Chains A and B, each alone.
Chain A
Amino acid sequence: MSKVIFVTQPQHDNMTSYLKEYSKEYIDFANEKGIEVINFPEDKCNRKQVESLISGKNPQLVILNGHGSPDAICGRASKGDKSTKCLLVEGEQEDEVIIDMDNKNLLKSRITYSLACASAKCLGREVAKLDKTTAFIGYEDELIIITDSWHECKPKEDAIARAFLEPSNRLVMSILKGNDVETAYKKSQECFQKWLDYFQSDKIDVRTSQSIAWILYDNMNCQVLHGNLKLSLN
């Protein structure tokens, strides 16, 4: 059976722009390995199209970039359509909810990796209970990254942001290599620890260390894995 992965790539603020930019690394990697990648940019990241894609294409791995809450994962910025479910994010900005408790069954019998804040806390736990061939990796609290404003136009050149997003990419790459989700999770945690050790070392000045290590530590601790630990793309 050919392998298919699905990636949402909303892009309407700095956070989603960084997530999108860094997702290109694992999308390129998947393409090199001959895995079919279906990626949805901002406009397509709405509930209807996401539901239709997952049901129709049946991807084994679903990667959800975007904002979120303990029981919802968002896609694009709301277009003001009152009939769509939305989550209030920044100020008056609302994002469309693409996955929540009502359509969580879409993630049954798949591996899901969600970067949407806190979505592993309730939604991820419930998804993992759907059956024994389901796994959900995500964050139980807010995912926070530090960026260097001098590099905001070119996120890939932002060496500070890399420390926060490389552990996430390591997880996806490991799954794409065929490892089970438990191994991928361990690789990601090791990558967090590598960066934490680096920012606690004498190679780094105290100001930088004090500014970064506490957030890396928090992200590392709120990344969790629910469901079948031995699930892989193989």
Chain B
Amino acid sequence: MAKGDVSGEVKKLVIERLRRMPPNYKLLVGSSGKSYSREDLISCVEKENEFGNRIMRMQMNYLRSFKHKVEAHE
């Protein structure tokens, strides 16, 4: 996902979901050992940097799978 490829809707959705993350939660990333707070994650998504794009891909993959799961139960 290159910068500018992300739809504004996806970005807004992901940021809104991240805003709901409890402030005491931190993401630890195994490749770097870096830790991200909720604010760090939102900033990465806003900037559409490499990790921000990764977050958006992960969130959208998950939401699509969840949608399939819900549809299968209907």
CB distance from B44 to the nearest CB of A (A): 13
B33 within 8 A of A: yes
Question: Nearest residue in A to B55 (C-beta to C-beta)?
Answer: A214
B7 within 8 A of A: no
A16-29 contact mask (Cβ, 8 Å, vs B): 1 or 0:
10100000000000
Chain B interface mostly = mixed
Expressed in whole angstroms, the Cα–Cα distance for A115 and B33 within the complex equals 12
The reply to whether A89 and B25 form a contact with Cβ atoms under 8 Å apart is no
Q: Chain A interface secondary structure, helix, strand, loop or mixed?
A: mixed
Determine whether the beta carbon of A218 is less than 8 Å from that of B25: no
Count the A residues whose beta carbon is within 8 Å of the partner chain — how many? Answer: 40
By a CB distance below 8 angstroms, the chain A residues around B43 are none
Contact A69 B33 (CB under 8 A): no
B25 touches A149 (CB 8 A): yes
20 A-B contacts, Cβ less than 8 Å apart?
A15-B29, A16-B33, A18-B28, A67-B31, A89-B32, A90-B32, A90-B33, A117-B31, A139-B30, A142-B29, A142-B31, A143-B29, A145-B28, A146-B27, A147-B26, A160-B25, A207-B20, A210-B17, A210-B20, A214-B59
Residue numbers of A with Cβ under 8 A of B are 12-16, 18, 67-69, 89-91, 93, 115-118, 139, 142-150, 160, 200, 206-208, 210-211, 213-215, 217-218, 221
Interface residues of B (CB under 8 A from A): 17, 20-22, 24-35, 54, 58-59, 61-63, 65-66, 69
